[in-house]
């Protein structure tokens, strides 16, 4: 018997994450954080998915609390925004890496 041909990606063939800086306090200045180049795309996307799920859960809980007359604090909203920014940065780093095949 011959082994069955596969058309899926072998994780060893996937390029690593590209470096991506993010987290500017004033949206135009220096960035505070950086996705390091060379990390696994699969692991990065798994982390981004977990963070996105957390943003969704926390956002829903915060909305329910506000709906019940509770106070929302700026730090809670900024925390959600930061988690969303991290998930987006990881996803973008993976997108750029896959689009270019890992080449600079």
pLDDT values of the chain reduced to their tens digit, one per residue, 104 residues: 566 665 655 656 899 999 999 988 777 778 899 999 999 999 999 999 999 999 999 999 999 999 999 999 999 999 999 999 999 999 999 999 999 876 66
8 A C-beta contact, residue 32 and residue 43: no
Judge if pTM exceeds 0.85: no
pLDDT recorded at residue 30:
87
- At residue 21, φ and ψ (nearest 5 deg) are -90, 145
pLDDT recorded at residue 101:
76
pLDDT recorded at residue 82:
93
Sign of the CA dihedral 49, 52, 56, 62? positive
């Amino acid at each position: 018997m011959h082994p069955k041909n596969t058309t899926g990606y072998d994780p060893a063939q996937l390029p690593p994450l590209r470096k991506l800086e993010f987290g500017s306090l004033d949206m135009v200045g220096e960035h505070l954080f950086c996705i390091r180049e060379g990390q696994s795309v699969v692991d990065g996307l798994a982390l981004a998915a977990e963070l996105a799920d957390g943003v969704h859960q926390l956002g829903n809980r915060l909305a329910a609390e506000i709906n019940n007359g509770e106070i929302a604090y700026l730090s809670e909203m900024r925390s959600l925004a930061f988690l969303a920014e991290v998930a987006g940065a990881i996803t973008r780093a993976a997108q750029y890496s896959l689009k270019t095949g890992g080449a600079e």
